[in-house]
């Protein structure tokens, strides 16, 4: 094979997933099974093959970075790592949601197809080397998610959430696009790596710098929408609450990884020379998110809404890592800081997956486990699931020996290294406030008596996956080194 074809093999996972998704769509048309078992198995198989292909590409690349498709697509370790985690998240989402959707007669082939297409969009985003591919990937992902949120089309709450998500999402895409066009105007290129070269030159001249910063503001605003941080967070609580829990699980996991990749591509790969400008913006976003997220979460009685505000707070915490990379133009700490943020988001996605997984597990036909009181006395009716949720909650609160602690430790350490001690202090004070509402969940499960003695029972596969998910946080809490090292390599080879 010619070198060109060989180098394009780096996009094999994406190519495969596109083909496989079309195949799954076709298979589903001929499936008469009420529970769509074949569709789900096919989708899982497609994900497993994607996983193996990505591993293969990672192995072949030997940790190098390669830009292919005439500068549209980049293949690097961070991309592979994030894609692998996206497969895990989506695969988990499929596993966790099958029963839930079937109980509510929402189980249609579209669910799987849309989910896989949005995964494809995420993969394109993660590997984008150009503004164009980035935007294409983003839209593919977002459009599928809008449709997924409206999956329960007869529910007014769901459709309202979808509408809100769509309108705000479109607005944020517009902001992002506008920012990109400003940067394009200044640098004359869409390729992120070329933008970096031009930006380094332009940043030296005050006039050009102003122009770049103008574009940067819109980029950051667009990013903030997608990541979901204050003051661009309004859609999150409504979408999390309004969407069926199975879809909330999807919205709250893999897209976060894609949004993180987008932030790294745009800000770190593209505009690192403007770091001192975007770091200030991120600092503001981070503090506001931690404050509003943690304080508002206390007042929630709906678990999904509480987790939505907790997401906002966590994303703010993650930004602390991103904004600690460059100190006075010195990039010595950059790898450490960005890998801390990457580690944080990876752990966060695992926790979020598990927490919504528990909600799905406890939901039954005709019973939606979504209010805090629905978890009352879980320790009596289902001690193992309660224990998993306990691990998840303490991990979210950042208490050792769970993985959430090391995520916080890494990010705080990056902030202190960057001389941002005051930011670190603010962060720990808000995470103390945050600990309260996670504790309340533990309190309800362990200290209160159950409302009714019904025992939730999921399939064996669900139980095993949920257990693995919860215990992973304990395992990463006792042995965080491998994952941390992987994150570090991913950032170093950016």
Partner 1 sequence: MLLSLSIWIPILAGAAVLAMGRIEGGSRDALVRWVALAGAVLGFLVTIPLYTGFDVQDAGFQFVERHLWIERFNVWYHLGVDGISLLFVLLNSFVTILVVIAGWSVIESRVGQYYGAFLVMSGLLNGVFAALDAVLFYVFFEGTLIPMFIIIGIWGGPNRVYAAVKFFLYTLLGSLLMLVAMLYLYNKSGGSFAIADWHRLPIPLGVQIALFFGFLFAFAVKVPMWPVHTWLPDAHTEAPTGGSVVLAAILLKLGAYGFVRFTLPILPDASRELAWLMIALSLVAIAYIGLVTLVQTDMKRLIAYSSVSHMGFVTLGFFIFNAYGVEGGLVQMISHGFVSAAMFLCVGVLYDRMHTRMIGDYGGVANTMPKFAAFMMLFAMANAGLPATSGFVGEFLVIMGAMKVSFWLALVAATTLIWGAAYTLWMYKRVIFGAVANSAVSALKDLNPREFAVLSALAAAVLFMGIYPLPFTEVMHASVNELLRHIAVSKL
Q: Which is nearer to partner 1, 137 or 398 (CB)?
A: 398
CA dihedral 177, 179, 182, 183 (to 10 degrees): -100
Collapse the DSSP code of 207 into the 3-class scheme (helix H, G, I; strand E, B; otherwise coil) and give the result: helix
Q: Residues 374 to 393: which contact partner 1 by CB under 8 A? A: 379-380, 383, 390
* Site membership for partner 1, residue 157 (CB under 8 A): no
Q: Which H or E element spans position 42?
A: helix 37-61
Would you state the torsion angle of the CA atoms of residues 172, 180, 261, 423, taken in this order, to the nearest 10 degrees? -80
The residue among 13 and 316 lying less far from partner 1, judged by its C-beta, is 316
Report how far apart the first and last C-alpha atoms of the chain are (Å, whole number): 28
Residues 196, 269: Cα–Cα separation, whole Å: 7
Minimum CB separation of residue 381 from partner 1 in Å reads 8
Binding segment toward partner 1, per CB under 8 A, in 118-126, 167-175, 319-327, 482-490: 482-490
| 452 is an interface residue for partner 1 by CB under 8 A | no
**Which of 167, 432, 457, 468 contacts partner 1 by CB under 8 A?**
432
Closer residue to partner 1, CB minimum distance, 187 or 381:
381
- Quote the least distance from Cβ 290 to partner 1, whole Å: 13
Q: What are 124's two structure tokens?
A: 């394109």
Best CA proximity match to 349, nearest among 21, 41, 86, 40: 86
Stretch that binds partner 1, among 32-40, 150-158, 237-245, 427-435 (CB under 8 A): 427-435
Closer Cβ to partner 1, 157 or 432, answer by number: 432
Largest CA distance in the chain: 70
**340-379: which residues touch partner 1 (CB under 8 A)?**
379
* Structure tokens belonging to residue 375: 């978890």
C-alpha span between 371 and 34 (Å, rounded)? 29
Give the CA angle between residues 18, 111, 75 to the nearest 5°.
30
DSSP H or E run through 273: none
Rounded Cα distance, 318 and 339, in Å: 11
Quick check: 492 binds partner 1 (CB under 8 A)? no
Minimum Å gap between C-beta 423 and partner 1 is 10
Binding segment toward partner 1, per CB under 8 A, in 133-141, 225-233, 431-439, 462-470: 431-439
450 near partner 1, rule: CB under 8 A: no
485 binds partner 1 per the rule CB under 8 A:
yes
User: What residues line the site for partner 1 (CB under 8 A)?
Assistant: 379-380, 383, 390, 394, 399-401, 405-406, 409-410, 412-413, 416-417, 421, 424-425, 428-429, 431-432, 435-436, 439-440, 442-443, 446-447, 480-481, 484-485, 488
């Amino acid at each position: 094979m010619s070198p060109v074809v060989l180098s394009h093999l780096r996009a094999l996972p994406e190519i495969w997933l596109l083909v496989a998704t079309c195949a799954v769509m076709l298979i589903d048309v001929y499936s008469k099974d009420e529970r769509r078992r074949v569709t789900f198995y096919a989708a899982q198989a497609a994900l497993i093959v994607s996983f193996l292909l990505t591993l293969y590409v990672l192995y072949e690349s030997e940790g190098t970075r390669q830009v292919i498709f005439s500068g549209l697509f980049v293949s690097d370790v961070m991309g592979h790592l994030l894609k692998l985690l996206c497969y895990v998240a989506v695969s988990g989402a499929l596993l966790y949601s099958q029963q839930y959707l079937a109980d509510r007669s929402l189980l249609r082939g579209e669910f799987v197809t849309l989910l896989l297409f949005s995964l494809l969009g995420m993969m394109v985003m993660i590997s984008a080397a150009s503004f164009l591919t980035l935007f294409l990937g983003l839209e593919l992902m977002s459009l599928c998610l809008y449709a997924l949120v409206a999956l329960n089309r007869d529910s007014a709450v769901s459709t309202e959430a979808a509408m809100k998500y769509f309108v705000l999402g479109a607005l944020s895409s517009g902001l992002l696009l506008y920012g990109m066009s400003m940067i394009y105007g200044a640098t004359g290129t869409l390729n992120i790596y070329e933008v970096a070269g031009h930006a380094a030159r332009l940043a030296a001249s005050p006039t050009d710098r102003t122009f770049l910063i103008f574009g940067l503001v819109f980029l950051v605003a667009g990013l903030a929408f997608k990541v979901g941080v204050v003051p661009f967070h309004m859609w999150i609580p409504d979408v999390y609450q309004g969407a069926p829990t199975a879809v909330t699980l999807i919205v709250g996991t893999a897209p976060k990884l894609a949004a993180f990749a987008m932030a790294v591509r745009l800000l770190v790969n593209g505009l690192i020379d403007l770091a001192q400008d975007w770091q200030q913006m991120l600092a503001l976003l981070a503090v506001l998110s931690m404050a509003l997220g943690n304080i508002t979460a206390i007042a929630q009685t709906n678990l999904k809404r509480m987790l939505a505000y907790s997401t906002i707070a966590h994303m703010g915490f993650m930004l602390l890592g991103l904004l600690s990379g460059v100190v006075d133009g010195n990039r010595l700490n950059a790898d450490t800081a960005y890998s801390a943020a990457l580690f944080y988001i990876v752990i966060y996605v695992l926790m979020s997956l598990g927490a919504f997984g528990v909600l799905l597990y406890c939901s039954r036909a005709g019973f939606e486990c979504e209010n805090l009181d629905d978890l009352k006395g879980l320790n009596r009716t289902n001690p193992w699931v309660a224990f998993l949720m306990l691990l998840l909650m303490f991990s979210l609160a950042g208490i050792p020996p769970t993985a959430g602690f090391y995520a916080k430790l890494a990010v705080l350490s990056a902030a202190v290294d960057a001389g941002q001690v005051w930011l670190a202090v603010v962060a720990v004070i808000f995470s103390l406030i945050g600990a309260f509402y996670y504790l309340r969940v533990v309190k309800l499960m362990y200290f209160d008596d159950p409302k009714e003695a019904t025992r939730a029972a999921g399939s064996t596969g669900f139980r095993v996956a949920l257990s693995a998910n919860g215990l992973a946080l304990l395992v990463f809490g006792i042995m965080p080194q491998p994952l941390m090292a992987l994150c570090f390599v991913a950032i170093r080879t950016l």
